[in-house]
Amino acid sequence: MSIKSVWHRIKAVSFIGDMYEKYIGSKKVARIEKKCREELVKDGEKYMGLVEDTLKDSGAIYYAYAGTLLGLIRDGKFINWDFDIDYAIVITQDFTWNDLENLMKKSGFKKTREFVFDGSVKEQSYAVGKLNIDFFGQFYEDAHMIQYSFEYIPDCKYNNENERSVYLVTLPKVVETKKIRMENVDVSVPTNSEEILAAIYNEDWRVPNPNWKSNSGKCSVLLKNKVAYQVVL
Q: Which H, E and C letters describe 55-98, residue by residue?
A: HCCCCCCEEECHHHHHHHHHHCCCCCCCCCEEEEEECCCCCCHH
What is the C-alpha separation between 116 and 122, in angstroms, rounded?
Answer: 6
User: How high is the pLDDT of residue 193?
Assistant: 98
User: How high is the pLDDT of residue 17?
Assistant: 53
User: How high is the pLDDT of residue 8?
Assistant: 52
Q: Which residues of the chain have pLDDT under 70?
A: 1-26, 28-29
User: How high is the pLDDT of residue 6?
Assistant: 52
Q: Note down the domain range covering 59.
A: 3-232
What is the C-alpha separation between 161 and 230, in angstroms, rounded?
Answer: 9
For the chain, how many structural domains are there in total? 1
pTM of the full structure: 0.87
Which of 46, 168, 35, 22 has the alpha carbon at shortest distance from 108?
Answer: 46
User: How high is the pLDDT of residue 15?
Assistant: 45
What is the C-alpha separation between 177 and 85, in angstroms, rounded?
Answer: 18
Yes or no: say if 82 and 37 are a contact pair by the CB < 8 Å rule.
Answer: yes
Yes or no: say if 185 and 52 are a contact pair by the CB < 8 Å rule.
Answer: yes
